[in-house]
Amino acid sequence: GDSVTQMEGPVTLSEEAFLTINCTYTATGYPSLFWYVQYPGEGLQLLLKATKADDKGSNKGFEATYRKETTSFHLEKGSVQVSDSAVYFCALSLNAGGTSYGKLTFGQGTILTVHP
């Protein structure tokens, strides 16, 4: 079946450090890929997405590139801030049509803590 694997956390960084959270997937079709973020006490929010191979999603300084050859969608940020502390989830969707992303398969989440 379809699955998503994220690097295990927690990840602890100092402010302005470089961030990478690895994500790899297994899917039977051609998935769309997502990163969601959950800040303390809040719901999951879509951070960025990519719908086809070689697409790069970006938002708030975060980037991830859809790599079909390595089945990966690693999340990166050049300089993290304390406010980036949250739980990050990688996910995929195989909904047909490519325009409706309700049904998601998630990774286990990675807790990121950024210290001043």
Asked if 92 and 104 touch (Cβ cutoff 8 Å), the reply is: yes
Number of residues located near another protein, criterion CB under 8 A = 21
Minimum distance from residue 102 beta carbon to another protein (Å): 4
Q: Provide, rounded to whole angstroms, the least separation between the CB of residue 46 and another protein.
A: 6
What DSSP designation does 9 have?
Answer: S
**Binding of another protein at residue 105 (CB under 8 A)?**
yes
Q: What distances in angstroms separate CA 17 from CA 10, 11, 12, 113, 115, one per listed residue?
A: 15, 12, 10, 12, 10
State yes or no: residue 26 binds another protein (CB under 8 A): no
User: What span, in angstroms and rounded, lies between the C-alpha atoms of 35 and 99?
Assistant: 17
Q: Which of 45, 79, 81, 83 binds another protein (CB under 8 A)?
A: 45
Report the interface residues with another protein, using CB under 8 A: 4, 36, 41-46, 49, 89, 99-109
